[in-house]
Amino acid sequence: MVYLYAIIAGSSDLIFGWFALQEWANKIQPRYVIAFAAGVLLAVTFSDILPEADLKSDSPFLALGFVTFYVLEKVMMIHACGETECDTHHIGPIAVLGMALDNVVDGAGIAVGYLIDPLLGLAITVAVVFHEIPQGMTSALIMREAHWSRPGMLLALGLAGLLYPVGALLAGFIPPEFQQKMLAFIAGDFIYIGAGDLLPEAHRRFNWKVILSVIVGMAFMFTLKLLVPIV
């Protein structure tokens, strides 16, 4: 089941990348999607991941996860496109490596969460899928600006998606005593992505609808937990 979760998360790269390339997708306001995704990520982090982590002893790993993905994001220079254009229109080798590492870590996070509690693994999967909405769309749009062919873009996104099951496989080699540390690391990752990357992008121009979208994203996850016991 854990590999199914990883495959679902990985396929979202391809699905949302393909979605971004459709002409009718231009009618969607991306900032609201980004804000909603940020709300989902933060809700899962605070309501599902952090309660399972031992922050008394593993707080350094929480900070490490935050700093690691802060550095990765600055190196990759790929941001969710909250406005009509992306800031960066080039994907170089370092950016590709950074995205690959991000996907492997997310896949490992899904697996570690599943090993601790299958329901936690499912919650992390949901968070990763919503994170991939802006990331997959942004990657596709940047590749299009760089004049990649459509088959080449979809192939790249598909290969990126395969790294989630790879991360899940590698997580099987993590000793049980390090699983909670990995959870803390993933929490740091999600906090940075949600609060440090997605929210600032969504708030480039002040808009109460963006704030509402964040709240709706968080409420969506909290409501889902109440209505569906398996989440």
The alpha carbon torsion through 222, 223, 229, 231 (nearest 10 deg) reads -50
The answer to whether the beta carbons of residues 41 and 198 sit under 8 Å apart is: yes
pLDDT band at 89 (very low <50, low <70, confident <90, very high): very low
Q: Find the mean pLDDT for residues 7-21.
A: 85
What's the pLDDT at 206?
67
Kindly state the DSSP code that residue 77 receives in the 8-state scheme: T
Only one residue has tokens 């999600």, namely: 190
As a whole number, the mean pLDDT across the chain is 81
Q: How far is CA 205 from CA 133, 199, 216, in A?
A: 20, 11, 19
CA distance 23 to 222: 33
Q: Find the mean pLDDT for residues 224-229.
A: 71
Answering whether pTM is above 0.85, one says no
What's the pLDDT at 207?
77
Q: Is the pLDDT of residue 83 over 70?
A: no
Domain boundary assignment for the chain: 2-227
Interaxial angle between packed helices 208-227 and 118-145, expressed in degrees from 0 to 180 and rounded to the nearest 10: 150
Q: Is the pLDDT of residue 84 over 50?
A: no
Q: Is the pLDDT of residue 146 over 80?
A: no
Tens of pLDDT along 38-79?
889 899 999 889 888 888 888 999 999 999 888 877 766 555
What's the pLDDT at 72?
79
What's the pLDDT at 4?
92
